[in-house]
Amino acid sequence: MPSPYHFTHALCRTPAPSAVHGIRADGGPDPDFTGLAAEHAAYVATLRDLGLAVEVLPPLDDFPDALFTEDVALTFPEGAILLRPGAPSRTGEVDHIRDALAAHHPRLLEMTTGHAEGGDVLRLADRVIIGLSDRTDRAGATELAGLLAKLGQHAEIAQTPPGVLHFKTGCSLIDERTILAVPAMRDCPEFAGLEVVLTPTGEEGAANILRVRDTVLIGDRWLATHAMLAARGVPFRPMATEQIARIDAGLSCMSLRW
């Protein structure tokens, strides 16, 4: 089975000044743009340091959330799929990433119905889980599962708990057999056969980690989760995420990887 995190490439997008108006569920304060841009730059530098060839697309001021490239497509060595974001303000982002994806992926498939965002798609070693959420509906997930099959990927459809933005807001891979999940996702039936490690109390926000090759990227303020990873012998790099967290984002959101 191919590794779900032995990436060689990533596609990111520089944040536009409008990113401070990015969507957030709780109506909290705007991020500071300078700080947000610094977090993004550090993220791109880290991916490069881990050995990935990273292309960074230009900012899109008309689309405040366009720096979160993960949500508009899925990318695999075998090809890519353009998605249909469920957030109306993000629909138009797809047209702005098409050419860049086509340049890397001669096999470029495209959804035509319903909605799905990449933050709802968790890639495992032997399958992909698509979480239904406020952004990903049944029609979109069903069509997406069919497109994934064309790329040789088996997909299962799961439920994201209420109040969790994306499926991967609440869970991520530590390694091929181990999931880090918030307590509300502990009994997700699609995790059967995997070890589920829960985020420590008060550190639910840590769940959106990003495994890249041998290293886990994790928010820098989740000290109990750092200790847990250290105890398990998992190499990790703490990353500043305070500003992107103000617009409901974590570490997987800022790149497409393959």
Residue numbers at the binding site for ligand CIR (CB under 6 A): 22-23, 65, 68, 70-71, 87, 90, 118-119, 166, 169, 247-250, 252-253
- Measured from the CB atom, the residue of 94 and 253 that comes closer to ligand CIR is 253
Query: Is the Cβ–Cβ distance between 119 and 145 less than 8 Å?
Result: no
> Least CB distance from residue 87 to ligand CIR, whole Å?
5
| Minimum distance, C-beta of residue 97 to ligand CIR, in the bound complex (Å) | 14
CA distance 94 to 69: 9
Question: Cα 234 to the chain's mean position, in Å?
Answer: 20
**Residue whose CB is less far from ligand CIR, 198 or 249:** 249
* Least gap, CB of 40 to ligand CIR (angstroms): 13
Which of residues 29 and 193 has its CB atom nearest to ligand CIR in the complex?
29
Which residues, in sequence order, are CB contacts of 71 under 8 Å at separation 6+? 65, 83, 85, 90, 93, 117, 118, 119, 135, 166, 253
Q: Which amino acid is at 227?
A: A
Q: Which residues pair with 73 in a beta bridge?
A: 82
Kindly state the smallest distance separating residue 3's Cβ from ligand CIR, in Å. Answer: 21
d(C-alpha 160, C-alpha 170), whole Å: 8
* In the complex, least distance from residue 207 CB atom to ligand CIR, rounded to whole angstroms: 11
| Residue number with CB closer to ligand CIR (153 or 241) | 241
Task: Give the residue nearest to ligand CIR (CB).
Answer: 119
141: amino acid identity, one letter? A
